[in-house]
């Protein structure tokens, strides 16, 4: 595989990544040891902010959440479809992913003014508020977990996983799709997308016309991360390809990926062995085989990331780069999808995580959770991203 990758990269005039390269973040502002970066001193990016939904709050202030009251809001996803914005998230009786958890959604004409949230998924089987197991972590009850919007053939689908609520994940794990009906303004269960599967982000279309998304199985802590390719003939027509085949070499979690110039794919992985850095791998055959993931120099809090290729060809990555805690949330930008040269402070001073970014018009819309109890949104103008210059010397703590 490595020989194939090197031959491809040598022949490509558009992208020449080295599968063994550790450099994913670079600039005179970056200390030699990225863990010494003073994250609080990063340039601040202007934004408009709104809270879409609270579990509970004192005075509707997301910096003063009352965790003792219970409840969870997390796994935030966004889409723009049919002239409006859509948000979905996991909404349940406790932190986190307990028996009875469902998926909610809301819509907005502009990404800043949102309607009253509604349930998207039904009550999980035999796991409603009247169940003796409601709000607990046990394999005797079920839960839904929000998995994102999929815009396929002009229609809007919502993905959600269903499994037992004891750990991560139950043996009956499956990924299901729900189809939105505009006339009745409700969601219909469209069936199983793939058994024994939870994705991280909804499918993205490859140059071949196939769709691709990541896959973790119920035993992913030993089987490792896979990628599903297909989704064209039917919602459930997929092939599964492993990255490593097991988790013995890398305890990968919550991967994201994007398409590089020349249609090479790169995938980025959170490291659950807590190295404090992101890992990265490449594929030249549309996700069927991958280079061995390598630890990069991009710092990470062992948290979920969200990457996106912009319409102008650049790339953004939303992440928690502070290896000590999920604070702050930052936006990094790259010209080639390989090396990010700018990192900007979005929001912080509290536990922030589970981002998802989309581009619409001249702006980025970024959803995130605070303390796993809110669904919040930032609107960021790309012109403001471009206007900020990074310091010319290291930002050292």
Predicted confidence (pLDDT) per residue in 113-149, tens digit: 999 999 999 999 999 999 999 999 999 999 999 999 9
pTM: predicted TM-score of the whole model, two decimal places:
0.94
For the residues 355-359, what does the mean pLDDT come to? 98
**Under a CB-based contact definition with an 8 Å cutoff, are residues 155 and 86 in contact?**
no
Q: What is the pLDDT of residue 394?
A: 98
Inform me whether the pLDDT recorded for 4 exceeds 60: no
d(CA 203, CA 210): 9
| Digit-coded pLDDT (tens) for 239-264 | 999 999 888 888 888 999 999 999 99
Q: Who's near 213: CB < 8 A, 6+ residues apart?
A: 199, 200, 201, 202, 203, 204, 227, 228
CATH topology (fold) of 2-387: Neuraminidase (2.120.10)
CB atoms within 10 A of CB 200: 21
């Amino acid at each position: 595989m490595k020989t194939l990758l090197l031959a491809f990269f040598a022949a490509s005039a558009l992208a020449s990544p080295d599968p063994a390269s550790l450099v994913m973040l670079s600039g005179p502002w970056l200390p030699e040891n990225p863990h010494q970066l003073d994250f609080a001193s990063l340039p601040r990016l202007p934004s408009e902010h709104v809270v879409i939904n609270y579990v509970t709050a004192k005075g509707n202030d997301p910096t003063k959440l009352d965790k003792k009251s219970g409840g969870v809001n997390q796994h935030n996803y966004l889409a723009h479809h049919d002239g409006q914005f859509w948000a979905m998230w996991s909404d349940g009786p406790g932190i986190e992913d307990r028996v009875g958890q469902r998926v909610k959604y809301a819509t907005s004409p502009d990404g800043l003014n949102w309607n009253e949230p509604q349930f998207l998924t039904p009550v999980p089987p035999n796991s409603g508020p009247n169940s003796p197991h409601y709000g607990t972590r046990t394999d005797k009850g079920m839960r839904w977990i929000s998995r994102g919007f999929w815009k396929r053939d002009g229609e809007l689908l919502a993905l959600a996983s269903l499994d037992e609520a004891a750990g991560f994940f139950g043996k009956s794990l499956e990924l299901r799709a729900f189809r939105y009906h505009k006339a009745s303004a409700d969601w219909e269960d469209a069936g199983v997308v793939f058994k024994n599967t939870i994705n991280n982000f909804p499918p993205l279309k490859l140059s071949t016309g196939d769709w691709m998304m990541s896959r973790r199985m119920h035993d992913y802590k030993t089987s490792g991360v896979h990628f599903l390719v297909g989704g064209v003939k039917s919602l459930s027509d997929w092939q599964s390809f492993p990255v490593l085949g097991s988790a013995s070499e890398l305890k990968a979690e919550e991967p994201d990926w994007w398409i590089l110039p020349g249609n090479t794919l790169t995938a980025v992985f959170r490291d659950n062995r807590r190295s404090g850095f992101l890992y990265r791998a490449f594929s030249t055959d549309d996700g069927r085989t991958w280079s061995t993931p390598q630890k990069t120099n991009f710092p990470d809090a062992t948290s979920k990331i969200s990457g996106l290729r912009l319409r102008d060809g650049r790339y953004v990555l939303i992440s928690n780069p502070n290896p000590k805690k999920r604070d702050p949330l930052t936006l990094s930008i790259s010209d080639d999808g390989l090396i990010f040269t700018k990192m900007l402070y979005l929001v912080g001073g509290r536990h922030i995580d589970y981002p998802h970014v989309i581009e619409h018009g001249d702006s980025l819309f970024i959803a995130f959770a605070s303390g796993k109890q809110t669904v919040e949104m930032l609107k960021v103008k790309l012109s403001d991203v471009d206007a900020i210059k990074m310091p010319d010397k290291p930002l050292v703590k």
